[in-house]
Copies of this chain bind each other. A is one copy, B any other.
């Protein structure tokens, strides 16, 4: 046992054996001058680290270190410590700043002549080399404390050092990445500045270096803590069972965005599912009662911005529950797991209908951190003489709507003047009473900006909804405070339409969410007469204007499910035989939800991209720039799967050209 402890040391030392020997010799030579320091022998420290007797819980248990860099403080003064970490930087040959995941600590390089070999070792180090330093914690000399550094009251006097690994010249400095902070990652940068794209590509290529930044470390650790708390809440407070479901599954109806996995049987393929939807429902039929899973999901969406081909959702399903039960569960879940440093989550969350959200915000995922709601002013313009407005109002669902942008004059010149007149091309066309009514209805003040749109309601609302968000961004760009970045606004949106006209064939209907959503009970008769009017028992969870979750009460009646698939959606039910059969075998009423974990965490940490909360994300184009995946595979390796590549040149010129090499 004792023998084993020293093995690793020898192995590490391959490259730096010479150095270590020198250092040890130096230490032995000086031991008599400072016996009170009691440098422990190497085997002693190893035996400590691998001992079977209980040692305090924590991140240094069972390790070759005794403490982490970041935990040292005045409480440790006088203690002998063993630290392992990376050289953050060297300062004037006097100090080494050593870093590990927990933070930084200053290591004092001894300058007495007897320790010159130890000093030489330190001075020859490249940044990001890996060290094991033994030494004693002491208070920094008065006046040399660093109040900006959590360990700034102390320093560690090095007594021995072992170079565990060296580091070549890096493609970029770790601390640069820390300093650059969040601004690097904004979408604007990504699309407008080739330089930034290159740096993003470099971050991805050397992801293992990028992850050393304090921001990325913090993001991944926050994510880990969050999911642990979520699990606690679901398992211990509500009796949920964590069940894993397969990812090698079969194609689902309409699953055009599912990755295929060839099997060894000619022509047969597995699919990587977009969600465990069918399995979670089957688990309810199986009587599991309450299921959850942190589920890996797959979606082949090409190069949609800020999407990943694989992502993670907090997947939940319950039996014998109603909509209110699921919503209360999720509110409790977020309240319980929310990171303390991010404030307290107040429940219940406000709830609006889809219709109300569209009416007030022109979008089904409103950002409720600010006002600027849509105001219907059709009444005012009912008898207008402005031609295009009159035409717009006359059409089916025709309307005139407005948003008022407070302080909008900051960014535009179409403003309400002090005297109540409007600085606008419309201004002189409006009768005084119309103008007066408009100002009253929109509650416009001097300095505000009014934006009007006229046309069919289905077009006017989304238009103003987008304008509203753009105005907020514009104002913030000009220094007007519109949204508090430290604030989290949750909102439920309910009563969505169950079906929507197909984009490419408006005469047909498709599911607004998925074909398993139950209709709102009082709308059930409409299924058989006017299915486009049926509302679904679907609920979306919106946070700061982003959809972070969606779920529904499911259909548990086999006949109803079959009718919707066959008669309303015109789907081939053969693909879903197993689910329809399952509903005939005593399926309980059930419902659930899925939360998009990546997006949720990115909002919590204040990052605009989900790539900042995923350890190894793919690029926009679905590439792993570090390992160069996907990659070519020789034809020989395709044979067992009975497939071959159809090269564009073979097929003809109608195919798109090969993509450029750089992401």
Contact = CB atoms under 8 A, between A and B. Distances in A.
Given A11-B524, A241-B221, A633-B251, A622 B167 contact: no
B286 A587 contact: no
B328 A269 contact: no
A289 interface: yes
Interface in A509-568: 518-522, 524, 537, 553, 556-557, 559-560
A63 interface: yes
Interface in A590-633: 614-616, 618, 622, 624, 626-633
A294 B272 CA distance: 19
Contacts of A302: 264
Given A7-B322, A164-B588, 13 more contacts: A52-B347, A58-B239, A166-B586, A212-B286, A248-B630, A250-B627, A256-B637, A260-B262, A264-B300, A265-B658, A279-B615, A578-B627, A642-B648
A170 interface: yes
Given A321-B63, A518-B11, A630-B268, A130 B645 contact: no
A638 interface: yes
B287 A584 contact: no
B322 A50 contact: yes
24 contacts: A4-B323, A7-B323, A8-B323, A11-B553, A59-B238, A61-B239, A62-B238, A99-B287, A128-B585, A166-B586, A167-B584, A206-B581, A211-B288, A217-B288, A224-B241, A224-B243, A227-B242, A228-B242, A250-B631, A251-B637, A260-B638, A264-B302, A269-B633, A279-B616
A237 interface: yes
A7 B522 CA distance: 8
Leading 10 A-B pairs by shortest Cβ distance: A59-B239, A50-B324, A250-B629, A211-B286, A167-B586, A62-B325, A128-B586, A268-B630, A263-B630, A11-B521
Contact of A167 (B58, B86, B560, B585): B585
Max chain B C-beta neighbours (<10 A), residue from A225, A245, A262: A262
B324 A659 contact: no
Contacts of A65: 320
Interface in A1-24: 1, 4-5, 7-12, 14-15
A18 to B, nearest CB: 15
Contacts of A235: 224-225, 228
Chain A's interface: helix, strand, loop or mixed, by majority?
mixed
A249 interface: yes
Contacts of A207: 282, 286
B584 A168 contact: yes
Contacts of A645: 266-267, 642-643
Interface in A269-313: 269-272, 278-279, 282-283, 285-290, 294, 296, 298, 300, 302, 309-310, 312
A557 B588 contact: no
A359 interface: no
A94 interface: no
A641 interface: yes
Interface string A209-225: 11110000100110111
A269 B168 contact: no
Contacts of A264: 300, 302, 622
Interface in A136-179: 164-168, 170
A589 B267 contact: no
Given A4-B324, A586-B130, A312 B261 contact: no
Contact of A14 (B10, B244, B328, B560): B560
A6 to B, nearest CB: 8
Interface string A341-372: 00000011000000000000000000000000
B321 A62 contact: yes
A285 B208 contact: yes
A638 B268 CA distance: 11
A624 B236 contact: no
Given A231-B231, A588-B84, A324 B14 contact: no
A562 to B, nearest CB: 13
A318 interface: yes
A237 B647 contact: no
B271 A629 contact: yes
A410 interface: no
B648 A266 contact: yes
Contacts of A241: 220-221, 224
Residue with the greatest number of chain B CB neighbours at <10 A, chosen from A129, A208, A322, A618? A208
A582 interface: yes
The listed residue with most B CB atoms (<10 A of its CB), out of A52, A245, A266, A319, is A266
B557 A14 contact: yes
A329 B64 CA distance: 13
